[in-house]
Structure formats: structure tokens, C-alpha cells
Chains A and B, each alone.
Chain A
Amino acid sequence: MRTISLSETSVREANRQLHDQTAELAEAQWRITDPEGRHALACGLDQTLEVEIDGHAGYYCAGMNQKARVTINGMVGVGVAENMMSGQVRVKGNASQSAGATAHGGLLVIEGDASARCGISMKGVDIVVGGSVGHLSAFMGQAGRLVVCGDAGEALGDSIYEARLYVRGSVKSLGADCVEKEMRDEHLAELRDLLDAAGLDARAEDFRRYGSARELYNFKVDNADEY
């Protein structure tokens, strides 16, 4: 285990030490202390590291992650795990807007609440939120799964493509082309797997499923000639 205090080491230097593990893995366990809301912590990792951040982090924490498991013992600012490719990011507290934006893979767990635009343009990531999400979550979600144990704000899944959404609580409103869908056995099974992977105690049977009605312009075969 190696510890980096950000009251003594710059973010750039801390990230460099983590990136140095990409070519050759010398130390897998890392602890980052005194984050004090600094931005871009543990970004661009590309190695099977275990990174623990002790405190609140700023914007774009663990962005572009590949392979690493990053845990934040606090809350995070805008864009946690944005464009994650693989690995796992776990936020013990709340997350600000655009959590998991455009992420292609991996698992993002937010134990508290996430604000607006959680999973915006998600492209294959799995996001499990212990609390609630704000408005326009999964906006233009293309692939992946979003699980919300609490409530969802306005315009959930607006202009959604093929991302699958599971919400246990209320949905303030559904966005354009987002509809409630039947919860079949295969959905219950994948939801159980996601809740297990996130370590959250919830019954899959209590959730409802939402997804695309496939009625927007780009889904219409009549428009195929346009391409």
C-alpha cells in the first residue's frame, strides 16, 4: 500500500505515479488522502489498481478509467467516472451532475444520491445508485444499465436508445420516447446480478423497468434512405 497526501503532492504528480503502474505493475494498492475537492483525481488509469480516496473529490474523478477499482470515501463533483471503459468506481457519498457520462463499460456505484444527468449518453457502463437521481438521467443512453434504488427526477431516459433503466421508487416524468416496459425473468436476473455486484440490499421484484419505445426519427425504417 502506498499513500499519497495531496496536501504535500500535486494532483499531476499523484496521477503520474498511478500512470507509472501502467507499463509495469509495482504497487497495486494506493491511498490518496487530503483530496479537499480537487479535480481530476485518479484520471486515466489503465491498470488493475485498487485506489482509495479518503475524502471529498472534485470534478471528473476517476474519469476514463480502465481496469482500476477506485473508491471515494466521500462525495464527488461533476462527471465522476466520465468515459469509463472498464473497472469499478464506487462513491460512498453523493455525486454531482453527469455521473458516468458517456462511459463505455465498467461498473459505477454511487451509494448516496446522484444529481442531474446521471448516465447521460451512457454507452455500455453499468451504474447502480443507492439513492435517487436528478433530472434528465440516462439522456440519450445508448447502451448499458442504470439502476436507481430511490426516485428519478424529470425526463428520465429522454431520447434514449438501447440503455435499460431500473427504478425502485417514483419517476417524476419520463422523457421523450422513454416508456415503462415489462419486467421479464431475464431482466430480474440481470438486475439481481447488478445489485449483487454493487453490494446493495434491494429486491429486484420491487423495481420497474424503463427503456426506449423506438419511436423517434432515427428508429423509423422510413428514414433509412436519409443515410
Chain B
Amino acid sequence: MCGIVGLYLKDPALEPRLGALFEPMLVSMADRGPDSAGFAVYGDEVDDGMLKFTLQNADPALDWDALVAGLTRDLDATVDWFRNASAVVLKTRAAEAAVRGWLADNAPDTRLMSVGRSIEILKGVGHPKLVADRFSLAQMQGSHIIGHTRMATESGVSMEGSHPFTTGEDLCLVHNGSLSNHNRLRLTLERAGIRFQTNNDSEVAAAYLSERMSRGETLTEALEAAIDDLDGFFTFTIGTRDGFAVLRDPIACKPAVLAETDAFVAMASEYRALAKLPGIAHARVWEPEPGRVYVWEHSTRTSMQETGT
């Protein structure tokens, strides 16, 4: 089943309240996905030339101070960092490949959850309310956020199988549905150099988009291609550093509702996730059309690009 939710702020004045507005959205979709939950928050952007790495380790006794000290020493790079429950966010000028390599050699149990200038992905097993509390979601600030509540069907209940999935800098995807041609696509993408962390079908969808965008396609172009290339049921919500997108498969097997005001765009599996948003009574509320790409980007904060096939 699963529930997906997203909130993209157009009014920067709401950014300090992003987590507080979003937490009830995520928790309201717990009925659709009580196994595990996760979210990708965009904000607190680092300067050009720097990257943020979100790491997660299930061991509460892990010595993060020692891990960061080792990384700093071996990579000869300054690392700013903070801890949030089982996760740590590093900000550094070190290159992605160097950090990945160091983690593989020195901390193989620590998972790299996200890489980018803006994105932080936090996820875990448990009721969505517990996951939200664990990471203090309600206190978070930022420009946009997408989340997922999971009822597992295609792979086991684990932190790794939880959404959002990311396979490229600042790009992430949440998925309600199931893909039927993900194994073949995974092989093609692996040959193109994409690295997968799980056998999950949704990770393949994320990789498909990041691979196309790495070749210069826009988010809209990559999603239009996905309509033809991805086979199966899907409602996707996608985040990029400055963008937010929604796409449903052409048969529209999985639900979705969108709401837009001057202050925000919100997406959810069901309207009740949106019911507490400020000004929702006067928002434009509609069901996104099947096989139609909806994209909002900060460069076009006041207008939406809509394309379809």
C-alpha cells in the first residue's frame, strides 16, 4: 500500500516551520504504511564546492567522534558535523568518491544515506510517529521535504528498504506501487556505472532519473522518458536541490492528490494528509492526471510546468 507525502514551500517565510507542517502529513499516512518511514529534507545548503553527507548507523554506542576524527585525518579535509539520533550529517570539501571509499574501508556498517549540497535523508523501521520523533522532524527547517510511510511488499522491512531512495546528488524519490521491469533496468543502469545499495524496485526508479539527469536532461525530460521506460504501477514524488515533481503511471493505479496555494505545493496519497495545512480550505486541490509530469522548481516558484503524453 504505502503512503507518500511532499511539501514544497513557495513562501520562504514558512521555511522555519517546514518540519512542523510536514510531520502531521507523514503521521497521517501511517495507516497506509506502518512498517517504516523516512523523509528527505532540503535546506541548510552548503557552499558551492562543499557537500553534505548523511550517514546512519543502527548502533547507538557507535563512537561518531572517532569516526569523524579518522575521516578528517585520512582525507585531510575539514569536516563540520552534527549528530541526529542514529544519523550524522557531515559538511566537507572532501570529494564524494573519497568519502565513499573511506567509509567502505573503515566503517562498512555505516550507511551513506544521501549526498548533496542540500539533501538530508533520514529513515528507519517503526511507526512513522516514532521515526518522526526519533529524528525531531517537527523542529526541522528547509525549503522542501518528501516522505514515505511503508507497507513492505517487494523487499524486507529494514532501514535499507525504507524510502526515500537516492542515487545521485540531491536527488531522491519516494514511490507508491511496484515496478515490473526493474531487474532489466538495473542491469542497464549498472553498466552505465550506477551503484545500487538494495534490490528494491524503487531504487531503480531513482537511479533511472539520476542517470538521465547526469547526461544533461532536465527533471521534466527524465520524467517524460520514465513514462515510456518504467513498467508497472507508480505514483512518484521526486525532490531535487531546487525542484519538486509528481508523476503517476498512465493507468493511475495508485492514488495521489495535489494542493497548491501562493505559499506552497503539497502532495499526498490521500487528502487527509493535507487537511491541517494553513490555508488548505482555499487551496486549489486536484488529482494529478495519469501519465502527466508535474514539476515545480525554485527558478519558477510562482508557476508550474505541466507536460504530458
Mark A residues whose CB is within 8 Å of B.
36-39, 55-56, 58-59, 75, 77-78, 93-94, 96-97, 113, 115-116, 134-135
Known contacts A56-B285, A75-B285: does B290 contact A135 (CB below 8 Å)? yes
Interface residues of B in 180-233 (CB under 8 A from A): none
Q: Is B169 an interface residue (CB 8 A)?
A: no
Q: Is B160 an interface residue (CB 8 A)?
A: no
Question: Which of B102-110, B146-154, B267-275 contacts the other chain?
Answer: B267-275
Q: Is B289 an interface residue (CB 8 A)?
A: yes
Main secondary structure of the interface of A (DSSP, over half): loop
27 contacts between A and B (CB under 8 A): A36-B271, A37-B270, A37-B271, A37-B273, A38-B272, A39-B272, A56-B271, A56-B275, A58-B271, A59-B270, A75-B271, A77-B255, A77-B270, A77-B271, A78-B255, A93-B285, A94-B286, A94-B287, A96-B255, A96-B257, A97-B287, A113-B286, A115-B252, A115-B287, A116-B252, A135-B251, A135-B290
Interface size class of B (residues with CB under 8 A): 10 to 19
Assembled-state Cα–Cα distance A134/B292 (Å)? 13
- Closest-CB distance, A107 to chain B (whole angstroms): 23
- Closest-CB distance, A40 to chain B (whole angstroms): 12
Assembled-state Cα–Cα distance A96/B290 (Å)? 12
Closest 9 A/B residue pairs (Cβ): A37-B272, A37-B271, A36-B275, A115-B287, A116-B252, A37-B275, A56-B271, A96-B287, A36-B272
List the B residue with the shortest CB-CB distance to A96.
Answer: B287
- Closest-CB distance, B44 to chain A (whole angstroms): 32
List the B residue with the shortest CB-CB distance to A154.
Answer: B250
- Closest-CB distance, B15 to chain A (whole angstroms): 25
Known contacts A116-B290, A134-B290: does B271 contact A97 (CB below 8 Å)? no
- Closest-CB distance, B14 to chain A (whole angstroms): 20
Assembled-state Cα–Cα distance A36/B252 (Å)? 23
Interface residues of B in 138-173 (CB under 8 A from A): none
